[in-house]
Structure 1
Amino acid sequence: MPIQTEPDGVKYQVSRVQKALLIAGLGLVAISAVRVITGETVLTSSGTARAMLTLALPIAMCALGGLVAERAGVINIGLEGMMILGTWGAGFGGWQYGPWGALLGALIGGALGGLLHALATVTFGVDHIVSGVAINLVAAGLVRFLSEAVYADSTEGGGPTMSPPLGSVDTFNIPILSSGPNLLRRLEDTDLPVLSDLGGILHGLTSGLTVFTLIIVAMIPLAWFVLWRTAFGLRLRSAGESPVAAESLGVNVYKMKYLAVTASGALAGLGGFMLVMFEQSYREGQTGGRGYIGLAAMIFGNWRPGGLLAGSGLFGYADAVRLRASTSAAVLALLLLVGLILAAVGVWDLYRRRYVLSAVLLVLAGATILAWGTLDALPREVTTMTPYLVTLAVLATATQRLRPPAADGMRYRRGEEH
């Protein structure tokens, strides 16, 4: 944690929570300023925030799955394939047994993919990258085979690339805040800078919820508690930091790795479950590369739950703005927001005497703001790519000291010295 010095010379530490709150506050001010300048209310509307939550959670679950596996020392490039297996399991389970059957099917499908990855990497010592890529390829072919075998002859609307429709799930709003007095909605309608934006975002995050949304959101603090506040989490993380030392202290490293990678697949399957419930059916190609984005969000988050949540939310927000915008003007407003972020990071790097990086970021910021000021519209192809471009721009400029687990990706054999 960075150490600051007060005028009297007394040193104090800035906690991660304080730093996160400061960044969130500055981000809210930046978004509010862009909303006021451009007049694009979609940037902070409750509908956009609600869509952001829906779009970000599948990525966050994949990122969390990658975190659990890599904290135990196993690189999981196969998150995309495990998510694909989860979507098919959710489609089949939901078709047969309803929403809770879909949840169970997604967990089983993803966990089986994780178990296969653990078998290859932990037991047989296959290179982690090779195993993950193989799982991605096998999963895509396997679900097509299963769909043709199970759904093709269905009389309920399924086919070789999709399951029969599953039906919708009941939603609810948080009392007082988003129903009844609906305080957040009233705050959103005030149109005051920052305050109305805060009300719109919080209203979107507390309305239109399902019980499954709450369960999946709870996975993130639960994973943090298990990994950093329990003896089991300590043993699991020791397997990814120094498996030989962990073995000498009586930790069953093989068991920890198997449990972590299987749980990793189950979490990726949960992400697939969210996609299926959102579209109310399984569809081939539904994941759209979100497993890879989740992997990037995990690295951006420095292998920590809070950081990966921020990375996932970034992509979800950009995608939500794109989907909710009636014209490309709102997408152009995102360019202004990205330009402000790049400029802020560039000034910070200049303060830290990183002159070359600062110059690059300030030039990019200027080009982005100039593009916003001169362009009237964007081609449809560019608009579709906007969430990916925005995410890449911010993630690439998030200068931080990344520290993966020390033994991440290393082949482990009991009794060997590393």
Structure 2
Amino acid sequence: MINVQEIRKDFPILSRSVNGKPLVYFDNAATSQTPNQVVDVIVDYYHNYNANIHRGVHSLSQEATDKYEAARIKIQQHFNAAKSHEIIFTSGTTHGINLVANGFSALLEKGDEIIVSALEHHSNIVPWQMLCERTGAVLKVIPMTEEGTLDMVTFEAVLSEKTKLVFCNHVSNALGTINPIETIIEKAHAVGAAVLIDGAQASPHIKADVQALDVDFYVVSAHKMCGPTGAGMLYGKEAWLQKLPPYQGGGEMIAEVTFEKTTYADLPHKFEAGTPNICGGIAFGAAIDYMNSVGFDTIATYEDELLQYATEKLSTIAGLRIYGPNDHKAAVISFNIEGIHPYDMGVILDKLGIAVRTGHHCAQPIMDFYNIPGTVRASFAFYNTKEEIDILFEGVVRAKNMLS
């Protein structure tokens, strides 16, 4: 049983006012809030052991290195990677995807095929388009359905021996759809293709086990799961990471440098050029500790209650349409009211202290599918309450009356 009021005490921002109203924060799919326990770790780093890592023999450098590498092990254990060096620290999900896409530039040939789903964030579309432009590979798409799910029949039809890579998000950021990634991974592997899963939206709700999934690459952003911005991770199977060339050149990622030739460091440093976001990596580990202290099963159960409550409540509003109305969803509701632009709705809700996201959510193909300019997206976290959903409901009704 979750004690929401106690948890909310860990997030001082939830007690502030916006436009003279108590803040109702429903933009968690964009960025979750950060608890005191993680903020304290950030402050402790800069107050007590701020130093560069791996290169120094002095005590501060060694302390920072130890804590940074301990965070890597926390992330390895959380996602159940087989080895800690299969965890690459990145600046976030986009960085991880681009790292893999850049590496495959050396492995793909003209006529090879790669597959992406129609439910992707732009960061899991654009890098693959760029990869196709560089290599001559062909990009194919798994279509979506009116319910906001993937057309798996067409996916199987598109798969072939030419397929080298398949990309899919675990959870749609725009609709909340939980995709059948286990089936996607199994089918892709059957034709010899590698699979990258974008776990940015899943990571706050689902504790992914990368070994059980048998996924080749899995990418996550810390700021989606109570951590800092500018930090994230790429999981890659050791065999694949050994095949891929480095994404960036510089310090730390080398074994030996001469003007004639450079050799590269072992994993994970091969992909971690330059001074990393040391504090961000350590804080990412602290955020994982915090979320595990709440418990992912507890989080999932409670957020599902919030989702069902909000769905039932909002569905009573005449003219309101929820997009992606399927039963297998994370805590996201994307909706519009007939005749009202989502931006206008978002502006009025903000005046009432309610933070939602409006627009295409970096998923323009989804909006084009529904022939809409965007949606209003309310995304929930384990520190939200049903009382806040009541405030959202009243705000939507009020905005509808003002704008109709």
TM band (smaller chain): under 0.3
Q: With CA pairs under 8 Å and 6+ residues apart, which has the higher RCO, 1 or 2?
A: 1
TM-score normalised by structure 1 residue count: 0.24
